[in-house]
Amino acid sequence: ARYRIAAIPADGVGAEVVAAGRSVLDALAAGSGGAFSFDWTEFPWGSRYYAETGAMMADDGLDRLKEFDAIYFGAVGWPTVPDHISLWGLRLRVCQGFDQWANVRPVRFLPGVLSPLRAADRAELDWVVVRENSEGEYAGFGGRNFAGRGAGGEVAVQSSVFTETGCERIIRFAFDLARTRERRKVSSVTKSNAQQYGMVLWDEVFRRVAADYPDVETESVLVDAMAAKFVLRPEELSVVVASNLNADILSDLGSALAGSLGLAASANLNPERAWPSMFEPVHGSAPDIAGQGVANPIGAVGSAAMMLDHFGLSEQAGRLNRAIAATTAAGVLPRDLGGRASTAEVTAAIIDALAD
């Protein structure tokens, strides 16, 4: 099979880690004896494109992307463009435009990586954070200049939107995922004691859906308590499902517990497959290290493995994940993991390990 992939490296280290992921996938294809191959088209969208055109992506961008089997994304954001403009103008436009409502973010311990967790707990780090990716706190609902209210000065309103359908589909997705895992458990996260409308609806839908999955263990945890639980009780978690903002924050905490933000992979899925899904590392454009050739490519390469899974190439995805683990186990570590290997060296080591 031949898979058509749209690459959008975008900003900062995005270009470096997307190049790394592409070379790993091309190496896999080269070794497949013609069983599968990847046909890449690169789009120049991002903050530089914005400086030239006044838009983060082409007007007909979604139309052009919809023909692809998947989108492989780097990271968006650069100090020359306000972050809310770059994020909404590209990444959120694709996610929401293609109704990629399930953002899947695995958190995994890798051998040879120093985790801040207690040694005995490291092996327990094997979770999937499932993030609602279409509404909630990032629904883009609100406005500015609501004059004459509140304590004074300008008043801005930022509302969350929770729909029953939106809650139900992501919660069901989490339960279905839990059934594929050794530990069949779903932990639902809200702040429904303080946010009494949307998050109470979420809790109600969670209880209702849970009744359809009597074989899956459940718990409902408030987000502040869950932050502590991530650190102190990692063995009690398997699938964690949460709203857009809460899961965004918790998954960064999860990747830090695994050792670095640079390790974390993610998939923005349109589970109905009406539109392409998008695969990207969790981290941002890292302007502080961009252009130095030292970015950790593992988050991007792990996202490529998730793309393989999405294509039904699960055996290849497993092979790639084992190659990543073999690389860290051998001590080939980039700077953010305390090592000295460059992006290119880590990538080459992963490609070498594919042969084993």
What are the catalytic residues?
Answer: 138, 191, 224, 248, 252
Residues 48-87 that bind ligand NAI (CB under 6 A): 75-77, 83, 87
The SS3 assignment for 312 reads coil
Span of 7-15, 30-38, 58-66, 244-252 interacting with Mg ion by CB under 5 A:
244-252
Residue 248: contacted member of ligand NAI, Mg ion, none (CB under 5 to 8 Å, by partner type): Mg ion
Residues 13-52 that bind ligand NAI (CB under 6 A): 13, 17
**Helices and strands, counts by H and E, the chain:** 13, 12
- Toward ligand NAI, which CB reaches closer, 112 or 217? 112
Residue that is written with structure tokens 């839908």 in the block: 205
Q: Which residue in the set 6, 110, 237, 286 belongs to the binding site for ligand NAI (CB under 6 A)?
A: 286
Distance CA 26, CA 301 (A): 12
Q: Work out whether 295 is an interface residue with ligand NAI (CB under 6 A).
A: yes
x/- mask, Mg ion, residues 310-349, rule CB under 5 A, reads ----------------------------------------
Q: Do residues 74 and 15 make contact, with C-beta atoms less than 8 angstroms apart?
A: yes
How is residue 32 written in tokens?
């497949």
Residue 65: contacted member of ligand NAI, Mg ion, none (CB under 5 to 8 Å, by partner type): none
Size of the site for Mg ion (CB under 5 A): 1
Q: Work out whether 283 is an interface residue with ligand NAI (CB under 6 A).
A: yes
The SS3 assignment for 325 reads helix
Residue 198's nearest CA partner among 160, 141, 240, 245 is: 160
* Side-chain-side CA neighbours of residue 245 (13 Å): 15
Q: Work out whether 296 is an interface residue with ligand NAI (CB under 6 A).
A: yes
Q: How far is the CB of 307 from ligand NAI (least distance, A)?
A: 16
Q: Do residues 304 and 324 make contact, with C-beta atoms less than 8 angstroms apart?
A: no
Span of 202-210, 280-288, 304-312, 316-324 interacting with ligand NAI by CB under 6 A:
280-288
Q: Which residue in the set 22, 91, 122, 169 belongs to the binding site for ligand NAI (CB under 6 A)?
A: 91
Q: Work out whether 226 is an interface residue with ligand NAI (CB under 6 A).
A: no
- Toward ligand NAI, which CB reaches closer, 160 or 347? 347
Distance CA 215, CA 205 (A): 18
Q: How far is the CB of 268 from Mg ion (least distance, A)?
A: 12
Q: Do residues 300 and 278 make contact, with C-beta atoms less than 8 angstroms apart?
A: no
Residue that is written with structure tokens 């509404």 in the block: 135
Q: How far is the CB of 327 from ligand NAI (least distance, A)?
A: 14
Q: How far is the CB of 85 from ligand NAI (least distance, A)?
A: 10
- Toward ligand NAI, which CB reaches closer, 3 or 73? 73
- Toward Mg ion, which CB reaches closer, 74 or 339? 74
- Toward Mg ion, which CB reaches closer, 221 or 282? 282
Residue that is written with structure tokens 């306000």 in the block: 82
Q: How many residues does the chain have?
A: 356
How is residue 168 written in tokens?
């139900």
Q: Which residue in the set 284, 303, 306, 339 belongs to the binding site for ligand NAI (CB under 6 A)?
A: 284
Q: Work out whether 315 is an interface residue with ligand NAI (CB under 6 A).
A: no
Distance CA 228, CA 226 (A): 5
Q: Work out whether 235 is an interface residue with ligand NAI (CB under 6 A).
A: no
Residue that is written with structure tokens 């409502």 in the block: 101
Q: Which residue in the set 16, 135, 248, 336 belongs to the binding site for Mg ion (CB under 5 A)?
A: 248
CA–chain centroid gap for 92, Å, is: 13
Cβ burial of 134 (10 Å; 0-12, 13-18, 19+) is buried
Dump strand ranges (E) for the chain: 2-10, 37-42, 70-75, 102-108, 126-132, 136-143, 157-161, 185-190, 217-222, 239-242, 265-269, 277-281
Q: List residues binding Mg ion (CB under 5 A).
A: 248
Q: List residues binding ligand NAI (CB under 6 A).
A: 13, 17, 75-77, 83, 87, 91, 261-262, 280, 283-289, 295-296, 299, 336
